[in-house]
Structure formats: C-alpha cells, structure tokens
Structure 1
C-alpha cells in the first residue's frame, strides 16, 4: 500500500513539473511543447498601434512562439472607449488567457486592474509614461505582474526639428485627451521645454472624439503650427485635423512614421514595429517561465528617427533643411490615404 501511495505522489509531482509556468503542455506523450493563449487588447485602431501588434507577434515568433503553431491569439479593439476596454479586459480574465498584451496606456491600465488578482501577467506596449499610469514605480520597477515598453516621445528632439524647419513660427499648438495619462505627461514636458526653443505653447483638451472638429478649428485659428502626441483619440481622428490644417496652410507635425505617411509634415519619432518586437521578446521570457513580469523593469527605445513627407512640404511651400533631409530614416513623396 505504501509503495502505491509513493508512486502516486511521484506521478503528481511529475505532472506538476511538466505543467509549471504559463501555457499548456501538448503533443505526444512525454513532449514538453507548450501551447499559449494571449489576449491582445488594443485601445484604438490606428497605424502606430497596429504596428505595435504586428511587431509584438514578430517578437514572439523570434522566440519560438508562433501563432497557428503553439500560440492562439484573441484580439479585441476598444475603439478608443474606456468602457469597452474594461469589458475586453474582463473577458480575457474570464477566458483565463495565459497573458494579456495591452496596447496603449488606457488598455494597459484596464488590463492590469482586471488581471492583478487573477495570476495573469500583463505585458504592455505604447505606454508613454508607465509611472504616471501607475504601472511602475519611479525606479521603473513594476507594481505587480505587469511590464512592457514605453513609447516616450523624444520631445526635445522634436522641438529642435520643428524650430529648424519653421524658424519664424511662434505659437505651437497641441490637442490632447484630458483623461489619457500619457498625453497629460507629455503636455507637462512640452510646457517645460517649449520656451527654450522660442515657442509659445497653446493646448486644447478634449474628452471624446466628438470634440475633435471644434477643438481643431479653435486651435488652428491661434497657432502657426501643430504637433501631435501619441494621444489615441486624437490620432484616430488625425485625417479630420489634417484636412482642416491643410485648408489653412498650417503645418502639422507627427510623433511617428505612420502619421507622416498620411499627411503630417515630419516627425522625430520611433519605429513602432521595433517597439512591439521588443515587447514580444519580453513577453516570451514570461511565458517560458524564465522571468516573472514583476521582475522586469519597463523598457524603451532611446534613439528617435527623422521622418519627412516631401509632398506635404511642397504643398505648404516649406523647404526641408538639407541637414535634416540627408539624415532622414525615411522620406515620403506622396500622401497615403485609406
């Protein structure tokens, strides 16, 4: 009888060892291959966040975790609505996914709030200020099983570039969503630095997409140029802002490559596919049990690149300085519209 009990305990221990960590064992008997299910929650649909998602899957694939092989992806988009984001987060927790990938600050906050007591790690990307979003402490350490990558804007470099391109501009406008912690944080840094580059800052806060058109009209009547943040609500409505700005011949600067493609004049920004890939590689470490999310400080890409749309410059009668043009990571000679 004792031998049977010991054998039973050994069998349980072996099973526990085989199933330790995230994911589920699969394949022939004795195989250690695991399958994973990840819920991807994206706050809004626009180019930079789409690129994050694409890069995230590439990063996982590079680490041997491939959709259709050993990875099942559940993807949901909140359409820039906080209530929807909360419902998505709750649904992923109910589905008992192995991990939630949250793209953009509001989704990261929502996902962590839903998963923090359920033993489901959250890995985020495109979160401008994880500290302000209360996902990390001042030293970059996670506040729980949550980590990821920051898309903090290179604001100093952006201001330098705008001043070089528009030497006579005086008033710089920014529209932002007052409920997005990432945007509030960026506005504070612009307020601190704008004067150093001879700009008077004019800001317009909005609360929803419905506010964009009127806020754009007000802002364009007051400023010489506009710069965008990575504000999800504003970026999702960027075509409306660009149409109004073009009518008034007011240059609009972007914060990343996709905004330049669709009609912003230029940007000192980051590559969101690269950012997503970096996030995917971090996520793979958590899924494989190599590290816990709570053991990994958030990361960021520190080197911005210059992107310019020469067609927009031509339409506005602006000459791109040779020093900037020659150092551009990518130039576009057309405006890409959907």
Structure 2
C-alpha cells in the first residue's frame, strides 16, 4: 500500500503545474562543442519566449561532463539531489545517465539520435513515465546524396566514431544501408576519446575517398584534429552537423542546433505548464540547412557544383 501511495504521489508530481516563481531547469551535456552549446542556448531562448526568464522566474543550471561518462553520472545524481522541475540532458550519454538515475523528476532529452536504441523510451509516440524529448537522427540518405553530388568519383566513405556512443552505432548502421544502395562502401575507424581522433583519421588515409564525421560528441570535440589530417591528405571531409562546417568540413546537411534547442525548450515549457512528460510524444527535429565551406573545399581539392552553391543556406568563405 505504501508503495502504491508513493507511486501515486510521484505521478501527480509529474503532471502538477509549477508556480512561475519557483522554476528550476537543470541542463547537462556530455561535452562542450558548438552544436551542443547552441542546443543549450536554444532551450533557454524557447523558455524565455514561453515566459520563463532567467533572472526573473527561472533558475537555469548547466553542467558539462567534459567528455567523461562517469562525470555525467555524477552530474545526474547532483541534479537529482537539487530537485529541479525538469532536467534536460543534451546528447545520448548524458541522457542515459539522467534517465538511469531518476524515475520521478521530469526528463526532456535532446540531441539524441536513437532514443529507442539508447533505451531512453520504449515507444516514441507514448514514451510513458517521466521521460520525453527530441531526436536529431541524421538524414543519412540525404548525406549520401550530398557526398555523391559534390564528390561523384568517391567509392569509399571513411566513418570515424566512438563505438561506445549508441547514437553513432545507430548512425553507422543507417549509413551502411544507404551507402550500399548508392554503390558505396563504408570504412570504419574508431576513436574512444578525443586524443585518438587524429590517429583514427590517419588510419583512413589511403583507404577512404572521403571522410564522414557523424554527430558523435567524442569526435566532434576534436574536430580540428580530423580536419588537419584531411587537409594534409587532400581527402574531402563531410560533417553530420552544420556547426562543424565553419571548423573545417567541406559541407554538411543537417540541423541548426540552436533551432533543435528551441524545439526542445518548447517541450520543456509544456512540462513546466503541467503536462506529464510521458504523455508527450518524442519529436524528431525539423528542418535541415545546407552549409558549405569554400576555403576548406579548396584545401581538400574540391570544387562545388553550381547546383550546390545555389542551394546552400550558408556559405563559409
């Protein structure tokens, strides 16, 4: 009976509206890099538009795990001890840490490619419990088409990833399936920490015609190391996120992560206003931008077709 009463209290708390003067949103990311930082800022912007403003009626907490899953688990426990109204984990490792640590505090994850594969929810439409969020599953079929359009002679795609990141494993499976349809081969190279990214990129020299870096937090956090090798070897390097184009990728077709954050913030606001997270379907991020980098392309021996230049949302000179 006591367990039943506690369960009812917890369920009621999840659906209970909070007063505007006591809202705390705790945000954590596995690492700091432009895409995840933009998602965090987008969450804050959406909350402000919904009436929850930092310094007025919103306490906005933020912690980075600095690329360490163990630290991510510590941050999750710390946040739970502070009892925020909602926890927003950015990235798959942070989301897994938070979801494993609480069944009571509402969780709205973001920048998670495969919520089902990561075992964050069992149903995208009816997640249930205290968890919902937003998926940024990469449009890999479109990425393959982009690679073929810009570098039509490419036969092999080098894929650098952290095999411990569930989202990257899911992306690899999707990429292989789409590459096979397009008559391309995928060559894998693993880096389990940022210090290994340069070596993992060098391992692809002579084996891959182009390199594709997914939205893998370990690899993206050391993106410049991969770019340096790609420039030296004259191998075109593509990214899964548009923020990485300014850092040296030839091109990317992906989400604007500030917009991803805003879409996530809209879900957080719904929870703060009384909706139970488990009743809110997990959304898939909307919108794709095409960003190209002319300087990086020149360094890697790529000349953009006019069709690409005309379609580009943004051109980095």
TM-score (structure 1 length as normaliser): 0.87
Equivalent residue, structure 2, for 1:327: 311
* Alignment pair present for 1:74 and 2:61: yes
Q: Residue 285 of structure 2 corresponds to which residue in structure 1?
A: 301
Q: In structure 2, the residue corresponding to 1:34 is in which secondary structure?
A: helix
- Contact persistence 2:54–2:60 (CA under 8 A): yes
Partner SS state of residue 211, structure 2: strand
- Name the structure 2 match of 1:152: 137
Report how far residue 263 of structure 1 moved: 0.5
CA distance in 2, matches of 1:122, 1:301: 17
Match of 1:227 in 2: 212
In structure 2, the partner of 1:179 is: 164
Match of 1:53 among 29, 40, 60: 40
What's the Cα RMSD here?
1.6
Shift of 1:315: 2.3
| In structure 2, C-alpha distance between the alignment counterparts of 1:257 and 1:207, rounded to whole Å | 23
Greater RCO (Cα-Cα under 8 Å, separation 6 or more): 2
1:226 is paired with a residue whose SS is strand
CA distance 1:287–1:300, change in 2 (3 Å)? same
Match of 1:12? none
Note if 1:107 corresponds to 2:98.
Answer: no
Q: What is aligned with 1:39?
A: 26
Distance in 1 (CA, whole Å) between partners of 2:100 and 2:173 is: 26
Selected match of 1:217 from 187, 202, 205: 202
Larger CA deviation: 235-244 vs 133-142? 133-142
- Name 2:4's counterpart in structure 1: none
**Cα distance in 1 between the residues matched to 2:202 and 2:125:** 39
Moved over 6 A (4+): none
> Residues 162-311 of structure 1: matches in 2 within 5 Å?
162-289=147-274, 291-311=275-295
Mapped partners of 1:180, 1:138: distance in 2? 21
What 5-or-longer segments of structure 1 have no aligned partner? 1-19, 26-32, 334-338
**Structure 1 position 139, deviation (Å):** 4.3
Q: TM-score, normalised by structure 2?
A: 0.92
Cα offsets for 1:165-222 (capped at 9, x unmatched) = 1111111100111111100000001111112223111011232223322212112231
Q: Secondary structure at the match of 2:22?
A: strand
> Secondary structure of the residue that 2:105 maps to in structure 1?
coil
Counterpart among 80, 96, 107 of residue 83 in structure 2? 96
Q: If you compute each CA radius of gyration, which structure gives the higher value, 1 or 2?
A: 1
Distance in 1, matches of 2:182 and 2:49, equals 42
Rounded Cα–Cα distance in structure 2 between residues aligned with 1:38 and 1:121: 10
C-alpha distance in structure 2 between counterparts of 1:92 and 1:121, whole Å = 12
Counterparts of 1:72 and 1:143, CA distance in 2? 26
SS of 1:203's partner is: strand
Quote the Cα distance in structure 2 between the aligned partners of 1:230 and 1:277: 18
Checking the alignment, whether the CA contact within 8 Å between 1:22 and 1:98 is kept in structure 2 is: no
**In 1: Cα distance, 2:308 partner to 2:263 partner:** 27
Distance of 1:62 and 1:241 partners within structure 2: 38
**What is the distance in 2 between the residues matched to 1:313 and 1:139?**
39
- Please list the CA deviations of residues 97-146 of structure 1 after superposition, one character each: whole Å capped at 9, or x if unmatched: 11111000110111111122xx2101111000111011122443215211
Distance 1:245 1:297 in 2: 40
